[in-house]
Amino acid sequence: MIAETRSKPAGRSPLQTAAPAKPLPGVEPGSVTLTVNGQAKTIQIAPWTTLLDALREYMNLTGTKKGCDHGQCGACTVLVDGKRINACLTLAVMHDDHAITTIEGLASPDGGLHPVQQAFIDHDAFQCGYCTPGQICSAVGMLHEGHAKNKADVREGMSGNICRCGAYPHIVDAVLEVINKAEKQP
């Protein structure tokens, strides 16, 4: 044992202050308006609420998944002003002036699926389904970016989304199909 390098009481980081009697600054919720899937909604949150938790716990939009909460899996991928980002590593308060799109907002209001959603079904590009909303949002973001042209590009471009079920070959097939269809259209 190398207890001599271990501080006791064990392993807590510094910066502990006695808890104040009144609420700490930052804990008190305030109004934040988020525009998600075209709809503006005001919620009461403190600054320490991530965009991911705001969606899931405060807006009941649980389609966006929490797979690691540290930007290491991509399950929380959403589109902010059309760009794919990890919702777990950003604060909700930072996005009051952005258009956020989640998996719930990809299908058209009449229920017609986004081509990427349909391709995922057609190619069986998922199993447990937990990484799927992130994969789909990521694919949609990648299509907007316009850099992915071939299989190798898609593999690299989709590498920010871990699928533990190992559906990668089918994910690549699904995304390539959408890319190829889009290219054929004028």
Closest approach, Cβ 83 to other proteins, in A, equals: 5
The answer to the question of residue 31 lying near other proteins (CB under 8 A) is no
Closest approach, Cβ 163 to other proteins, in A, equals: 7
Name residues contacting other proteins, limited to 147-176 (CB under 8 A).
Answer: 147, 154-172
Number of residues that bind other proteins (CB under 8 A): 103
Q: How many helices (H) and strands (E) does the chain have?
A: 5, 5
* DSSP designation for 19: P
Among 128, 149, 181, 182, which residue interacts with other proteins (rule: CB under 8 A)? 128
C-alpha 86: how far from chain center? 4
Letters for 46-75 (x = contact with other proteins by CB under 8 A, - = none) are: xxxxx--x--xx--xxxxxxxxxxxxxxxx
> Closest CB to other proteins among 16 and 180?
16
Closest approach, Cβ 38 to other proteins, in A, equals: 15
The answer to the question of residue 42 lying near other proteins (CB under 8 A) is no
The answer to the question of residue 13 lying near other proteins (CB under 8 A) is yes
> Closest CB to other proteins among 20 and 186?
20
Nearest to 71 by CA among 53, 91, 85: 85
CA atoms of 63 and 59, how far apart (whole Å)? 11
Q: What stretches of the chain show up as alpha helix (H) in DSSP?
A: 51-53, 115-122, 132-145, 151-157, 168-184
